[in-house]
Amino acid sequence: MEAGQRGRLNSRELLLNTGSTFWKCLPKHLSPPPCAIRQKSPKLHRNLQNWHSNRHSVNGSLANDSLITDDKPLQTAACFLQLRLRSAMLSRTLLSLLILPCLVLPAFCQDSESSTPSMPAGIDLQDGDTFVFLGDSITHQRLYTQYVETFFYQRYPDRRINFHNAGIGGAQAWDALARTGRDVLDYKPRYVSILLGMNDGRYRPFDAEIFANYQKDMLTLVSRLRAGGATPILMSPTMFDARAARNSRRQRDPDMLQQYNSVLAYYGRWLQDVALETGTAYVDMYGPLNDLTVEAREEEPGFTLIRDAIHPDPPGQIVMAYAMIDDLGQRKALSNIRIQPVRGELRASANGGKVSDLQKTENGLSFSWLADGLPWVLPPEAQQGVDLLRLGHKATREGLEIHGLPAGRYDVLIDGELVGTWPHTTLARHIELQGNEKTPQYQQALKVALLNKQKNEGPVRKLRDGWRPFQNWARMERTLDSKALSPAPHVELAEKAATVRNNLKNLDSLILEAEAEADKIEDEIYRVNQPVVRRFEIRRAEK
């Protein structure tokens, strides 16, 4: 599937935390006629008729999990069905209602459908290329970024790819604009992914003026990155887990809890429209997190990937990393080895590496294998997300097929280590080794993952924390330039800004120091990740 095509609107995406208030802005022509609902879901149509006949008994507000325990479940289900029926026109219609066309896509819109550029099929990172992750605190966490980096370190050991984390906690699109020079474009990136929006919505119900500012700043950011020679990658904001927020001790506005996940969903759909109109790559971060949460809560109501409601935990971050790998055209099998007899002789064919020295033995066969890369292996804290996604099978499948073995059970050894025992029929169908912790290639890949974790928890964290004062200073300067303060507070803020600016004199030296430390660890990563010839032996198991 091509990049950006996964961003479809489905009914589950707006299930969590969604109240009917947000959708009252929809014009009547967006609501499908009763016959459409009846045709799409006869059961829902019948239940709606029953609900309308008894609606005088319905009261209370809609919570994030209303389809299970709260009031107005069928009303909400109808809303979702309406959205599915009209998903193709939803974003454009809302956009025309909320924002003047001149504010939306000033330099991007095309005159006709035929002139609209096509979305890129993916990214193509080569040796020497740089990839920048631009974002807010979710990027500052250094988790989804770390997991994506690890994928490329393991999959393409022959390419020295440079990665730079440019996330700062609390950042909005305007904050990113303020540092696109030194923190982004100075690295000469080929690609820049943009994960912003969580803070831009200001944690409140939908506000057209706030959204207009987000649009303006995001479009300016995209233009500036392109002017600087980089290819932007738009990414939807992640989900807001209202149930997790309600379970915390922090007091929040009930209207915000009811609507904010929907606000973020809409921000993401607008970004997808921008991507479609401008031929920009797009990653759906919202949908996979939301869908997995809904599915898991069918059996475990307390399930969450985002315990603080905003910042995904490691399992949620691997969901995000996989969304990037998938939407950017990188999801494919790592390798497959096929051994079979042909006219009495063993023959080998393979993808993702080279088989050599294939020999028939008394109890089976053996061969040497040099893979092009390593399986995508991640630190233990991300394992829950790996399991939820079936990540290995989807993104890093390492297959082995052995045909023509006499009936029986066979041990598979790699470099003399037993990694498993299978019947001859299973070996003929194929086995997958990518998640097998006993294989030497898994252990080699794990060393790469742990080295990258060390890099991100050490020098990368130091670098990102060092940028935070710059963001504070830029915001102070913006307030001072706006002349919104009376004289006394203006003077006080100017003094604070001067102090922070003075402290920023050490930022460049901190950057150079952190980058030097990161480079040393990266050198070790590229020493450890190099392919090694492995000796496979398939022999009949002892009874």
Q: Which residue segments constitute the domains of the chain, with CATH numbers given?
A: 1-330 (3.40.50.1110), 332-543 (no CATH)
SS3 354: strand
Q: How confident is the model at residue 80 (pLDDT cuts 50, 70, 90)?
A: very low
Residue with tokens 């009495």: 344
pTM (predicted TM-score): 0.80
Rounded to whole angstroms, how far apart are CA atoms 314 and 317?
A: 5
Residues 157-215 pLDDT 10s? 999 999 999 999 999 999 999 999 999 999 999 999 999 999 999 999 999 999 999 99
- Edge-to-edge strand order for the sheet containing 398-402? 345-351, 335-342, 398-402, 431-432
Partnered with residue 410 across adjacent β-strands are: 422, 540
Mean pLDDT of 323-350: 95
Q: Which residues contact 102 (CB under 8 A, 6 or more apart)?
A: none
* Nearest alpha-carbon partner for 261 in 233, 238, 294: 238
Residues 466-522 pLDDT 10s? 999 999 999 999 999 887 778 888 888 999 999 999 999 999 999 999 999 999 999
Partnered with residue 401 across adjacent β-strands are: 338
Q: Which residues contact 260 (CB under 8 A, 6 or more apart)?
A: 17, 201, 203, 204, 205, 240, 242
Q: What angle separates helix 461-482 from helix 507-528, to the nearest 10 degrees?
A: 150
Name the percent of the chain lying above pLDDT 90: 72
Instruction: Mark out the alpha helices in 407-460 (DSSP H runs).
Output: 424-429, 440-455
Residues 378-395 pLDDT 10s? 999 999 899 989 999 999
